[in-house]
C-alpha cells in the first residue's frame, strides 16, 4: 500500500459501520463521523470532571464495580497513565496487561486473549495497537456488554488525544469558528494529526493548516478541510494555535528528511517564531517532546506553551469518555 494512502483518507469503510455505536458511545473508535453535538457534550462533561483532581479525595463513584483493561500492544507512558488515572478517579478497577509477558508472546492469538479476558467479566478494553483498524476489529469480536476505546491504532486514529487537544484549545478560545490552527511536523505518519483534522472540521474551524516537508504530507489533505504549507513561517503566521508533532521514526521505512538538524532549522519551533503567531497564540504538543528536533526547550517551557496543561486535561477528557461509554 502506498504510504500516503495509509492515513485512512480514502478508507471510509474502516469507520462507517460505527456511526450508530459512536452516537451512543458504546465504543469510541474514531472522531470522523461523530456529530458536533456529541463532541461538545464530551467537552462539557470533561469540564465538570476537571475539578476532581483538585479535591482532597480525587474520586467520584460513577464506575464503581466496573473492570477496565488497558490492552496496550504499543509502548506508552502518557496515554496509558492518564487512562489509568481516569478509571481510578471514576472508582473503576483497572487492569494493566503487560503484553511483553502475556500469552500473545507465547503464540496465543489476539481473539483467544480477548476471550480469556471476557471470561474474567471485564467491562471495557482500552486498546493501543500498531496496526490501523485493530480497535475496530476488537470491537467487532467482543461481547455486547463490553466497550472498546481506541487509544491509538497505527496511523489511523487517536481520538482521545484529539479530544483533549480541542478541550485545551477551548480553554483559550471559546469560539472555534474564529481561530486559525496549524499542525506542524510528521503529518504523514500521525494518527493524532488525522483525528485532529476531523475534530477541527466538525467544530467548524475556518482555517486549518498543515505544515511539513512534501515527503511528510499525505495525499488528500484538502479533502479533510486543511490547507498544506511547506514553508513553516508562512504557515504559522497569525495562527492562534500551533500544534507541533514529533518525527515518528518508528513508522518510517525509508528516509523522509535529510537529517534532524536541517529539519529543526526548517520546521523546528524556535523562540523567534513566536513573533509570527497571533498575540494570543499558544503552542501545543501531544508528546513525547523531542527537544531540539521539532521544538526548542525555550518554547516548550515558555509561557506560550500549554503542553503540560494538555497532559492534565487528558485525565478529565478520558474520564468523560469512559463514563459515557459505560452508560446503559
The catalytic residue positions are 78-79, 106, 128, 158
Beta strand pairing call for 67-72 and 124-129: parallel
Cα 317 from Cα 167, distance rounded (Å): 8
Q: Which residue has the cell 467479566?
A: 121
All cell numbers assigned to 59 = 474520586
Is residue 48 helix, strand or coil? helix
Q: Which of 114, 158, 144 is nearest to 26 (CA)?
A: 144
All cell numbers assigned to 141 = 469480536
Cα 278 from Cα 22, distance rounded (Å): 35
Is the CA virtual torsion 51, 56, 59, 60 positive or negative?
A: negative
Cα 271 from Cα 265, distance rounded (Å): 12
Amino acid at each position: 500500500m502506498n504510504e500516503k494512502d495509509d492515513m485512512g483518507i480514502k478508507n471510509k469503510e474502516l469507520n462507517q459501520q460505527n456511526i450508530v455505536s459512536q452516537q451512543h458511545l458504546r465504543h469510541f473508535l474514531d472522531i470522523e463521523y461523530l456529530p458536533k453535538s456529541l463532541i461538545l457534550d464530551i467537552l462539557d462533561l470533561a469540564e465538570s470532571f476537571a475539578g476532581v483532581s483538585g479535591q482532597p479525595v480525587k474520586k467520584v463513584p460513577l464506575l464503581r464495580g466496573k473492570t477496565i483493561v488497558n490492552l496496550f500492544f504499543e509502548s506508552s507512558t502518557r496515554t496509558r497513565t492518564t487512562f489509568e488515572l481516569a478509571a481510578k478517579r471514576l472508582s473503576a478497577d483497572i487492569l494493566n496487561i503487560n503484553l511483553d509477558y502475556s500469552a500473545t508472546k507465547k503464540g496465543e492469538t489476539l481473539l483467544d486473549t480477548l476471550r480469556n479476558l471476557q471470561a474474567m467479566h471485564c467491562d471495557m478494553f482500552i486498546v493501543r495497537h500498531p496496526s490501523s483498524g485493530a480497535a475496530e476489529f476488537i470491537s467487532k469480536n467482543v461481547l455486547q456488554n463490553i466497550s472498546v476505546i481506541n487509544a491509538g491504532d497505527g496511523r489511523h486514529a487517536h481520538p482521545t488525544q484529539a479530544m483533549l487537544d480541542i478541550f485545551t484549545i477551548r480553554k483559550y478560545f471559546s469560539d472555534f469558528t474564529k481561530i486559525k490552527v496549524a499542525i506542524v511536523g510528521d503529518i504523514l505518519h500521525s494518527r493524532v494529526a488525522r483525528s485532529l483534522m476531523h475534530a477541527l472540521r466538525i467544530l467548524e474551524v475556518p482555517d486549518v493548516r498543515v505544515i511539513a516537508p512534501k515527503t511528510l504530507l499525505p495525499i488528500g489533505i484538502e479533502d479533510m478541510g486543511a490547507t498544506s504549507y511547506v514553508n513553516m513561517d508562512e504557515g504559522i503566521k497569525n495562527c492562534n494555535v500551533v500544534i507541533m508533532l514529533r518525527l515518528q521514526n518508528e513508522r518510517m521505512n525509508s528516509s523522509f528528511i535529510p537529517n534532524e538538524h536541517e529539519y529543526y532549522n526548517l520546521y523546528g519551533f524556535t523562540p523567534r517564531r513566536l513573533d509570527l503567531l497571533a498575540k494570543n497564540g499558544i503552542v501545543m504538543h501531544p508528546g513525547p517532546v523531542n527537544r531540539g528536533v521539532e521544538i526548542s526547550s525555550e518554547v516548550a517551557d515558555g509561557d506560550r506553551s500549554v503542553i503540560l496543561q494538555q497532559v492534565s486535561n487528558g485525565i478529565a477528557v478520558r474520564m468523560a469518555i469512559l463514563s459515557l461509554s459505560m452508560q446503559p
